[in-house]
Chains A and B, each alone.
Chain A
Amino acid sequence: MNPLDWAVLFGWLVLLVSFGLWRSRGSNSVNQFLLAGKSMPWYAMGLSIMATQAGAITFISTPGQSYVDGMRFVQFYFGLPLAMVILSATAVPIFHRAKVYTAYEYLEHRFDAKTRALVTVVFLLQRGLGAGLALAAPAIVLSVILKWPFTITTLIMGGIIVLFTTLGGIKAITWADVPQMLVILASLILALIVAIRLLPPDVSFREAARLAGAAGKLTAVDTHFNWNDRFNLWSGLIGGMSLALAYFGTDQSQVQRYLTGRSIGQSRLSLLFNAVFKVPMQFFILFIGAMVFVFFVFERPPLVFQPEQMKRLESMPQYAGLEADYRGAFDQRQQAARHVIASTGDSSRSAAIAEFRGAQAHMDSVHTAALKLTKEDDTNYIFLSFVTTHMPHGIVGLVLAVIFTAAMSSISGEINSLATVSVIDVYKRHWHPGASDHHYLTASRVATAFWGCFAMSFATFASGFGALIVAVNQVGSLFYGPMLGVFALAFFLRRVGANAAFWGVVAGQIAVFAAAWFTHVAFLWYNVIGPVVVIAVALAMQPRMGLAVRRTG
């Protein structure tokens, strides 16, 4: 980081916060603060939904995941477009016509107060933890890269986010996401161009893709079915669709975005915009990781990408041996890569690829041995190590600024939704009904500050996770299934009443916890197990519970 990088980082931060706050002027009622006065156009909501979901974690973790594991993670998003279509046809018109602030308010219209309260508690628990993790992920990485203490990094990031969200509300968040998402896309394109341009002059883009393919990094679709495999076509289509249905259909941080739309059609378009662009965008980010891998085929990567762990490793007695072994394996892999590029016939190409993969396996084994000594996964540092070491000054500052503000974008959306649910579903519903609009506006600002502080506190305890993006999705998957189940009952099974739905959610939550603790089923399937159990138990109990169906508004 040189002065130009710092100038870009702070310049972008100030510009974005100012723009968001300027666009949010006049947010002086609850409707304006929480739902932007239902005035937002589809493109702002669409980009904001994309920015909230992506966050800093996607930027930091996804290219690294591709570097290590290839592009198969893209399958995780295959179910998302299907979910968007289902939600556009069902949830969007239902929530708009019910004239609600939160998705859980609708559950009381349809079932009863206890079902709404139960789902509210589940949401506050999982989203509260999720917001903490979403802050911890970039704070851990940025603290190492910027050489700031972790607590200070967390407090600076959290402080800016709390101030921005408390002052501007949902309008500031949504409008700030528009330039933010455009700059994210521009930085990603820049990163790919730089990665390709940094390859040796005799290695073309086509040959780079061949090398990445030879190392198995370009496997984007795996059609084999396996319950225990996290990412394949079937877990992506079925589990990924259930997760996306739950996330975009029942998680207030997303529902609130499309409730700000000025019409049902505008809200639908914002979801369908994501349906079209999300999968190609993830593919593109993963492809950058694959190209970074090829870059490091010709430029020796550090034994461990995490700089602090690397320093620790250097002081260990095993370091010299590992380093020599790694250097030998790297030279061998580079030579094998040249053979792959030069190979022409099928047999010589197969032999060269086998040699390349053998050398790659050797490098991987030395790297794994080093990680065992440092006891920390370095996946989240791969892309940033590449950016800070090999990208030109100015772009380094821009990428770090984007990570910083991407974290701001997703966490501010999350704490805004936590505040909305706390005020509408808890405070106004149970503690203080019938107060003035000004009173609830003040309560919303206080609740925003509270959840921001909660996220900062939890973030300080959340270090030590593996690939952070997976950790966040795993926390979500523990709770999303039952939430999806109860909304499916509400939308599609009119004969199921309140008590059956309530006990269905309890049974679904127990089933998901049991699956997580007692089986090795991949986490995406929790999003299928949860709703199936909720619906089955509710249908089984309904005849005994009697008909207690409410009409919705």
Chain B
Amino acid sequence: MNPDGEKQIVDEPPPVLGTWPRVYAFVVCYLAAVIAAFYWFTVHYAP
């Protein structure tokens, strides 16, 4: 009862940025930018 039977498991490239490590780097940079934006928001509206 193997869910894949003899099916080959394919590891395809990402649809953007060429390689998966580049996609991961983008996500980490994006997170840094989001936290920086929230920090600015906090300081801007601080009581």
Chain A residues near B (Cβ < 8 Å):
30-31, 34-35, 38, 74, 78, 81-82, 84-85, 88-89, 93, 96-97, 99-101, 209-210, 212-216, 218-223, 233, 259, 263-265, 268-269, 272, 275-276, 279-280, 283, 353, 357, 428, 437, 440
Contacts and interface: CB of A to CB of B under 8 A. Distances in A.
A272 B45 contact: no
A74 B38 contact: yes
Given A85-B28, A88-B20, A99 B42 contact: no
Contact of B47 (A81, A214, A272, A428): A214
Nearest to A553: B2
Contact of B27 (A35, A263, A272): A272
A84 B27 CA distance: 9
12 contacts: A31-B1, A31-B3, A88-B20, A97-B9, A218-B45, A221-B38, A221-B42, A264-B9, A265-B13, A268-B14, A275-B27, A279-B31
Given A88-B24, A101-B3, 20 more contacts: A31-B3, A34-B3, A85-B27, A93-B11, A99-B2, A99-B3, A99-B4, A209-B45, A213-B46, A218-B45, A219-B42, A223-B39, A263-B12, A264-B11, A272-B23, A280-B34, A283-B38, A353-B47, A357-B47, A428-B1
A99 B3 CA distance: 6
Contacts of A275: 27, 31
Contacts of B44: 213
A357 B12 CA distance: 56
Interface centre among B20, B30, B45 (most CB of A within 10 A): B45
Contacts of A219: 42, 45-46
Contacts of A218: 41-42, 45
Contacts of A215: 47
Given A31-B3, A221-B35, A440-B1, A210 B45 contact: yes
When A and B form their complex, which 4 residue pairs have the shortest distance between CB atoms, in order from nearest?
A213-B45, A218-B45, A265-B12, A220-B38
Contacts of A74: 38
Contact of A233 (B9, B23, B35): B35
A38 B27 contact: no
Contacts of B30: 81, 276
A337 to B, nearest CB: 13
A132 B2 CA distance: 31
A264 to B, nearest CB: 5
Given A99-B3, A437-B1, A264 B24 contact: no
